[in-house]
Every structure is written in C-alpha cells, then in structure tokens.
Copies of this chain bind each other. A is one copy, B any other.
C-alpha cells in the first residue's frame, strides 16, 4: 500500500477498513468531542462508548444516526469515569481511550495507575503530533510537544522508536527522521549533538532497518531541500524528513504553536508508550483536530 501523505488519505484508508475501532471516551459532553466522534462514526471506522456524564439532549441527538455503534455507560465523577474507561480498554472491550471534557490530570491518573493503568512498567510516556501544513506536500510527524520536558538519551531512543512505528502505520516504508537542533555541527560544546550522532550511527549500521535518521539538523534543513542545498549540507534525509524529534519541550511547543497559528496547520495528536492509543486533545483543539486524532489512533492499530 502506498504511504498516507494527507489527512484526507488517512480518512479514505480508514473508511475502507472492515473493522471499526472502539473508542472509550470519557465525558463526551462538549460539542467538539461529540462532533469528532460523530465524524468518525459517519466515516464508518469507529464505535463509541460514552463513559461518564450523559451528554445533553442536543448532543445526544447528534449520535442518533449511528445508534447501533454507540453505547453509554453513565458514571459520576471524573476520576471514576476515567478509571472505568481505562478498565474497558484493559479488558478488551475498547481499543482506544479518548479524553472528553475533564481535567487532563484526572485522565492521566487513571492511565498511569501502576496496577490498573495503560502504561507498562518501564515504558516511557511521550506524545506525537501530526501536522498537515498548507503548501507542504506531506504529513509532518513531530515529538514531543506535551510530555517530556528534556528527554534523556534513553527517552529520546523511545521517542524515535515511537515515531518510527507511527510512520510505518501510515505505510511509510522508510521513515525519514530528523533530530532537531539549532546547528548542523556535531560538537562537544553541545552534548545533545553527540547523543544525536550516536543514534545516526546506529541507523547507518542498519540497526533501525530501513529507517533513515539524521541530525543534528535545523527545522528547515530537515524539511526543505532547497535550504539544505543553499547551506551546502549533505544529509541522507535530503530535506524530506517525515518526522522531527525535538530537542526539548520548549522547542516542540513553540513549533506546534507557530505552525498552527501562523501557518494554519491542521493537527492531530496521540500519546505514546501506552498499551493502547490514548487521544488526549486539549480545549484549544477544534473538532476536526479531535477527529483526526481518533483517525490516527485507529490507523495505528489496524
């Protein structure tokens, strides 16, 4: 199958799948979450299990056309609802966990619960964002804008592993992963560049299969072939990176905010490291973004 290079292609691919992804959503009582779920139901790739508070009548009415694929479990309390939804995922009744209208902390507490949560001991929790940017020819994956402030070398290996796997779920056969810095020079002055180099050398030795890893590169030499040429830099990514691994959360966050606000990017996001996909959207996200996050979760387990 050819690689999925846009969100439209993602949705088309999912709507051709036989299997519906069962989404356990906590407190689907805001219009953004409900619209996102209904869109996934309309395209036929999801089932919804509404856990927690009961949506009001106007919102419930939106689910009417998809009644056979919607189930309700009324639970009072954010912690209780989150715990119940996690339980559904753990016992195989749902495939994906999704946050509706509740505090992120309350959802995460249930996800991270050592006995009854979704994060296996030893796994590193991280996050991947996907962006479709006007006039840019492909989906751009990047990590991490949400979880790890300053990744250690070991955490970074996990981040690369996660983004590699998600790229492959999008049928990208040789994911091109850029390790982002402000310089292209490897130097002991900036220890991060040495960490990057170690990863690049692993990839050169074939330890990452067909995945191509390069860095340090800046955002532009990672994704813009012309800029790479102008700077006279040789990179196996050729300015065609599929994914950017950010040096720290400040950089990831600023990148996220600038492409969404100034470049009008459409984004989707998904937690990494959990046994099952977790869609953790924020209040600022519109329903399209929440819908595309469900789609990303769905494709990652097809």
What residues of chain A have their CB less than 8 Å away from a CB belonging to chain B? 133, 136, 145, 149, 180-182, 190, 218-220, 223-224, 227, 230-231, 246-255, 257-263, 265, 283-284
Select A190's contact among B149, B180, B247, beta carbons within 8 Å.
B149
Candidate in A133, A180, A218, A250 with the most chain B CB atoms within 10 angstroms: A250
Q: Top 5 closest A-B pairs, CB basis?
A: A182-B253, A262-B263, A219-B257, A220-B257, A263-B263
The answer to whether B260 and A220 touch across the interface, beta carbons within 8 angstroms, is yes
Q: List 19 A-B contacts (CB under 8 A).
A: A149-B182, A149-B190, A180-B250, A182-B250, A182-B253, A182-B254, A219-B258, A220-B257, A231-B284, A246-B250, A246-B254, A248-B248, A248-B251, A250-B250, A250-B251, A258-B258, A258-B262, A258-B263, A259-B262
- Name the residue of chain B whose CB is nearest to the CB of A282: B231
The answer to whether A250 and B247 touch across the interface, beta carbons within 8 angstroms, is yes
Return chain B residues, CB-CB under 8 Å to A181.
250, 253
Return chain B residues, CB-CB under 8 Å to A250.
180-182, 246-248, 250-251
A59 to chain B, nearest CB (A): 20
Q: In the docked arrangement, what's the CA distance between A179 and B29, Å?
A: 35
Q: In the docked arrangement, what's the CA distance between A159 and B252, Å?
A: 22
Q: In the docked arrangement, what's the CA distance between A47 and B258, Å?
A: 37
Return chain B residues, CB-CB under 8 Å to A259.
258, 262-263
Q: In the docked arrangement, what's the CA distance between A220 and B248, Å?
A: 18
Taking A181-B253, A250-B251 as known contacts, 19 extra A-B pairs with beta carbons closer than 8 A to each other, sorted by chain A number, are A133-B262, A136-B262, A149-B182, A149-B190, A180-B250, A180-B254, A182-B250, A182-B252, A182-B253, A220-B284, A227-B261, A230-B283, A248-B250, A255-B258, A258-B258, A258-B259, A258-B262, A262-B265, A263-B263
Candidate in A223, A231, A258 with the most chain B CB atoms within 10 angstroms: A258
The answer to whether A254 and B251 touch across the interface, beta carbons within 8 angstroms, is yes
- Name the residue of chain B whose CB is nearest to the CB of A219: B257
- Name the residue of chain B whose CB is nearest to the CB of A189: B149
